[in-house]
Structure 1
Amino acid sequence: MKNLNKGLLIIAITFFALSADAQMNPKVKLQDALKLIQQNYVDPVNDESLVDASIKAMLSSLDPHSSYLSREEADAMNQSMSGSFAGIGIQFAMVNDSTFVTGVNPDGPAARAGLRLGDRILAIDGKSIFGKSLKNQEIMKMIRGEKGKAVALEIARTQQPEIVKLDVMREQIADLSVNTSYMVDSKIGYISLSIFSQSTRREMDAALKQLKAQGMTKLILDLQGNGGGYVEAAIGVADEFLEKGQQVFYAVTNTGVHDNYMTGGFGQFMHGNLVVLIDESTASSAEIVTGALQDWDRAVVLGRRSFGKGLMQKGLELADGSIIRLTGARYYTPSGRSIQKPYEKGKTDYFQDFSRRMASGELIEEGHFKFPDSLRYMTMMNKRVVYGGGGIMPDKFIPIDTSLYSAWMAKTMNSGLTLKIAFEYAQKNRNSLLATYKEFPAFNAQFNVPESALDLLLIQAQSAGIAISAANPVVRKELRTQLKAEIAGQLYVGKGYELQVRNQASESFIQAVALLNDQKTYDSLLQNQDVKQKKTSKK
């Protein structure tokens, strides 16, 4: 009997062991888990929320860039990347619980209806917004809407006692990816690109044509802070600068298939000196363009090592309109380098890279980061050394402006005080300023922020609990630049005036202009160092 019981025990243990080792269909397991939660959880559950959470969790285990977008998130992304939306063509800001018009598209319906910079919006479609503590997003939803349908605005205007009522027809408004383009001097043009969207190539083409018509023979392409976007747009931008048939990049899928992406030869600026500005936030499609231009020795790259995103996502739509953005391939620059940085330590660690770079001194001083020789590659034409495996390394290093990334600057800008004081100053002095500086170039060259406005900003910042040194000349210089930029945006109808002011104080911009005015140094940076050393030794 004892032996029988012992035998039964062994059979039972073996059965449970086999059961534990049995493989369960993962799809069935997921369905069973959802069913068990529905049947046994203490409170009612929302099935869609649970499924959304499970999909997000699955994707988060893959790589930092695979993600899930709900229907609402997918709609918002598609709108932002389409390059247009139905609106009236204004920018606005909350100042002292009031909503003021801070920008007017000169070609938009708001401008045609008579809306002006500085107008205070009291009501939208009969609903008062004054003193309601509404968020910017809420006001934006009220202003935007169906194309071809008017929005009714009630406006308070300085030196005009009666309320102004305007019916503004909503139209398709271009959400431009070119921040601004202008001539720096008689030969050097400048284009700042914020994102790669459906309209980017068209915008770039128009900007280049306009600058060339003004005499441009050299160009600064500013990709600082550009986080990327559509790959097709990156190919289009690279095509503006490279000859026909040159490779922009190639992608490798999980099956090992190579997809090559080439230029079509339809560019506006395939010849002429070119400088590309990058920083630690330049990523994805912006790195594709930078890598291609660097690999073909077409441009000198200035700035700091880029973000390091070399994974390509494709949008896979589910039946309910939600989207899985799944990494489907790795991309490589023409020289064969992947610029994807490591992500084995997880998403949190991956996106804390900026803090590590700052703490290590890499962003402040050259030489704190080195690529291993195993990631060494050669450019296509001049056989210069470039590296893969962690972003695009610039040809010339420009240190970060630590004051712009300081705690006091971040708190001051996020507080809205700079915009508030600039707006109030512009409102009070609008007529006299515009009489003195009829056009922006005169304002940019001659206007200086008065000490009274700067002191007011410093006093209010300190009252708001921001630790800021009012006597520090660096502090005063930086805040004076920010105030001047905001005042310019309040005075002149158009786009990009704020950036033009800030560029005058930007070391990256200053160095780019100096380089384009120094042909010898420009050529030297594009030359193979070994060849250059041999030439020097022969002398």
Structure 2
Amino acid sequence: MKRSKILWSILVLLISYNAHAQMNPKIKLQDALKLIQDNYVDPVNDEQVVDAAIKAMLSSLDPHSSYISREEIEAMNEQMTGSFAGIGISFAMVADSTFITGINPDGPAARAGLQVGDQIKLVDGASIYGKGLKNQDVMRMLRGEKGKAVKLGVVRKSQTTPLEFNVMREQIADLSINTSYMVSKNVGYISLAIFSQSTRREMDAALKKLKTLGMTKLILDLQSNGGGLVEAAIGVADEFLAKDKLVFYSVTNSGVKDNYMTGGFGQFMTGDLVVLIDESTASSSEILTGALQDWDRAVVVGRRSFGKGIMQKGLELSDSSVIKLTAARYYTPSGRSIQKPYAKGKTDYFEDFNRRMASGELTEGGHVNFPDSLKHTTLLNKRTVYGGGGIMPDKFIPIDTALYSAWLNKLMNSGRVTQAAFNYVQQNRKNLTDRYADFDAFDHSFIIDEQMIDQIMTSAIKQGLKLPPVTDQVARKTIAVELKAEMADMLYLGKGYALRIRNEASTAFSTALDILNNQKIYNQFLEAKPSKNTSAPTKITKK
């Protein structure tokens, strides 16, 4: 009898345990919130607790599923739509002062009479001088409702008294193209920063303009392009691929497959094309690069891309916040999945750059090996390409260790380079514009004074920044390029002058130009090559 009671007790416990173990997860979540509300020592903000729970749930899935608040959604929508209500200026914070460094020649600030070099001291009567404000703080004050004026108090070097301007806010294009220009008589260049709703329209206009200037070959720069709207990537692919070419296909968790094709309305479907990528080229940029590589349409130059091959769907909650949930995997036309592994969690996933640098992958070729299972062939010339973690370039370019160094990052963040460039331009603006009437003259003839570099490095070292020795020629050259680039943007109306100067010092850019200038080498990159082993061909010796 006693034994029967014990067995019966164990059975009851097991049934009870089973009932609790199989509890509805939705009810469990509600119960957890109720327990927190009733028992936590301090008053609880229910919305904050629920938001934290949602974020934690999504973080357990993959690195790209996330929760986005109402405020964050508004900011993202502004970026993706490609416009905002502002006054059409760029500015720099120098010694806690706000100076105008660039003006959109077609914008409201230009029409109101503001000038490059003006110091903004008041915004709608509120002082912004000496307040320790950040760029984002000032930007929020300058932007606002379309059709509503902002009142600026300005100090101008040539004037003895402060000036006042009422500038009407207008829709300002937040362009996805950094710059486009002719590199030589037949080679054009386009740098694409993001894929937004305006990207296809911008690309169409840029290609048309470059073609009228004689472009027959193009460098498309996707370095550091972190992606954006997938629809925009399809639109850009359409510029370069013939009608009914597969750009990519996606597969959902239920196995549903969707193909995304070109429409055949492009501006540049036959000219030679080089695409620049690096370790920060991700998502929509990889979709575009993968399609161009798989169709043997472009030579890809640079370093292995980031490796994001999963697509997120925005699911709106009742309060207008959004759950960005990974809903499908995408594949390049040859069937490559380029998503890198994320089983070890988000922190490990985003530490990939440091692993690549430590392994030597970013500084020299031949460090990446793929198994045969990740091997694919391009659709026309049957070249070997690889999936499993980013797009492998056809031509490897080592990372510029000076540009990606900790010391340069600290120096640029200190503001010393910007301040030195600004001070020089402010003191010598008339002499500079008289001597160098346009950017081309400045770019061709202006040389940075070595004493300016000495002063920057010496002052930084005295303030405790760990920089290379003042005699380090690589460091000096890097600083000189950054100084000249910033000066160019401060001197001339327009956009993209700084990038043009940086391009001239870029190995990736010069390599792309060399490839386009040699038809034989260009063709060789796109020809099928026999595969001798499972190591991806990441480095080819330049002759």
Q: Which amino acid aligns with 2:142?
A: I
Which of 18, 32, 44 does residue 15 from structure 2 map onto?
A: 18
Secondary structure of 1:528 counterpart = coil
C-alpha displacement of 1:425: 0.7
Q: Tell me which residue corresponds to 1:191.
A: 190
Q: Tell me which residue corresponds to 1:332.
A: 331
Q: Tell me which residue corresponds to 2:148.
A: 149
C-alpha displacement of 1:464: 2.5
Q: Tell me which residue corresponds to 1:119.
A: 118
Q: Tell me which residue corresponds to 2:507.
A: 507
C-alpha displacement of 1:414: 1.3
Residue 178 (structure 2) pairs with residue 179 (structure 1): yes
Residue 469 (structure 2) pairs with residue 472 (structure 1): no
Alpha-carbon separation, structure 1, partners of 2:427 and 2:45: 54
C-alpha displacement of 1:129: 1.0
Alpha-carbon separation, structure 2, partners of 1:235 and 1:107: 30
Q: Which amino acid aligns with 1:355?
A: N
How big is the alpha-carbon RMSD for the aligned residues of Structure 1 and Structure 2?
A: 1.2
Alpha-carbon separation, structure 2, partners of 1:490 and 1:509: 23
Alpha-carbon separation, structure 2, partners of 1:29 and 1:146: 44
Q: Tell me which residue corresponds to 1:131.
A: 130
Are the equivalent residues in 1 in contact too, given 2:59–2:65 (CA < 8 A)? Answer: yes
Matches within 5 A, 1:270-309: 270-309=269-308
Secondary structure of 1:452 counterpart = helix
Q: Which amino acid aligns with 2:16?
A: S
CA deviations over 1:434-465 (Å, ceiling 9, x no partner): 00111001111111011122112112211221
Alpha-carbon separation, structure 2, partners of 1:494 and 1:456: 30
Alpha-carbon separation, structure 1, partners of 2:462 and 2:110: 38
Are the equivalent residues in 2 in contact too, given 1:425–1:453 (CA < 8 A)? Answer: no
Secondary structure of 1:161 counterpart = coil
Matches within 5 A, 1:321-470: 321-468=320-467, 469-470=469-470
Q: Tell me which residue corresponds to 1:535.
A: none
Q: Which amino acid aligns with 1:265?
A: G
Alpha-carbon separation, structure 2, partners of 1:267 and 1:341: 31
Distance 1:531 1:25, change over 3 A: closer
CA deviations over 1:240-270 (Å, ceiling 9, x no partner): 0000110100000111111000000110100
C-alpha displacement of 1:20: 1.7
How many residues align structurally? Answer: 529
Secondary structure of 2:442 counterpart = helix
Alpha-carbon separation, structure 2, partners of 1:420 and 1:7: 87
Q: Tell me which residue corresponds to 2:244.
A: 245
CA deviations over 1:107-142 (Å, ceiling 9, x no partner): 111111111111100100011111111122111111
Secondary structure of 2:161 counterpart = strand
Alpha-carbon separation, structure 1, partners of 2:451 and 2:120: 28
Alpha-carbon separation, structure 1, partners of 2:48 and 2:136: 24
Residue 511 (structure 2) pairs with residue 518 (structure 1): no
Alpha-carbon separation, structure 2, partners of 1:14 and 1:86: 69
Alpha-carbon separation, structure 2, partners of 1:11 and 1:89: 79
Are the equivalent residues in 1 in contact too, given 2:122–2:152 (CA < 8 A)? Answer: yes
Q: Which amino acid aligns with 2:530?
A: D
Are the equivalent residues in 1 in contact too, given 2:55–2:67 (CA < 8 A)? Answer: yes
Alpha-carbon separation, structure 1, partners of 2:508 and 2:145: 42
Q: Tell me which residue corresponds to 2:540.
A: none
Alpha-carbon separation, structure 2, partners of 1:314 and 1:49: 23
Q: Tell me which residue corresponds to 2:167.
A: 168
Secondary structure of 1:529 counterpart = coil
CA deviations over 1:306-336 (Å, ceiling 9, x no partner): 0000000011111101000111110000001
C-alpha displacement of 1:531: 11
C-alpha displacement of 1:296: 0.3
| Farther off after superposition, 130-139 or 162-171 | 130-139
Are the equivalent residues in 2 in contact too, given 1:382–1:526 (CA < 8 A)? Answer: yes
Alpha-carbon separation, structure 2, partners of 1:207 and 1:457: 38
Alpha-carbon separation, structure 2, partners of 1:183 and 1:325: 39
| Farther off after superposition, 293-302 or 157-166 | 157-166
Are the equivalent residues in 2 in contact too, given 1:403–1:409 (CA < 8 A)? Answer: yes
C-alpha displacement of 1:530: 3.5
Q: Which amino acid aligns with 2:191?
A: S
Runs (5+) with no aligned partner, structure 1: 533-539
Q: Tell me which residue corresponds to 2:539.
A: none
Q: Tell me which residue corresponds to 1:49.
A: 48
Q: Tell me which residue corresponds to 1:490.
A: 490
Secondary structure of 1:250 counterpart = strand
Secondary structure of 2:201 counterpart = helix
Q: Which amino acid aligns with 2:520?
A: K
Are the equivalent residues in 2 in contact too, given 1:503–1:509 (CA < 8 A)? Answer: yes
Q: Tell me which residue corresponds to 1:311.
A: 310
Using structure 1 for the length normalisation, give the TM-score: 0.97
Using structure 2 for the length normalisation, give the TM-score: 0.96
Q: Which amino acid aligns with 1:318?
A: L
C-alpha displacement of 1:164: 1.0
C-alpha displacement of 1:21: 2.2
Are the equivalent residues in 1 in contact too, given 2:384–2:531 (CA < 8 A)? Answer: no
Are the equivalent residues in 1 in contact too, given 2:302–2:398 (CA < 8 A)? Answer: yes
Alpha-carbon separation, structure 2, partners of 1:197 and 1:505: 29
Stretches of 4+ moved more than 3 A in 1?
6-10
Are the equivalent residues in 2 in contact too, given 1:309–1:339 (CA < 8 A)? Answer: yes
C-alpha displacement of 1:399: 0.5
Q: Tell me which residue corresponds to 1:537.
A: none
Q: Tell me which residue corresponds to 1:536.
A: none
Q: Which amino acid aligns with 1:424?
A: N
CA deviations over 1:358-396 (Å, ceiling 9, x no partner): 000000000011111110101010000001111000001
Alpha-carbon separation, structure 2, partners of 1:394 and 1:464: 41
| Farther off after superposition, 450-459 or 280-289 | 450-459
Secondary structure of 1:162 counterpart = coil
Alpha-carbon separation, structure 2, partners of 1:103 and 1:253: 46
CA deviations over 1:275-321 (Å, ceiling 9, x no partner): 00000000000000000000000000000000000000011111101
Q: Which amino acid aligns with 2:443?
A: N
Alpha-carbon separation, structure 1, partners of 2:133 and 2:423: 20
Q: Which amino acid aligns with 1:470?
A: V
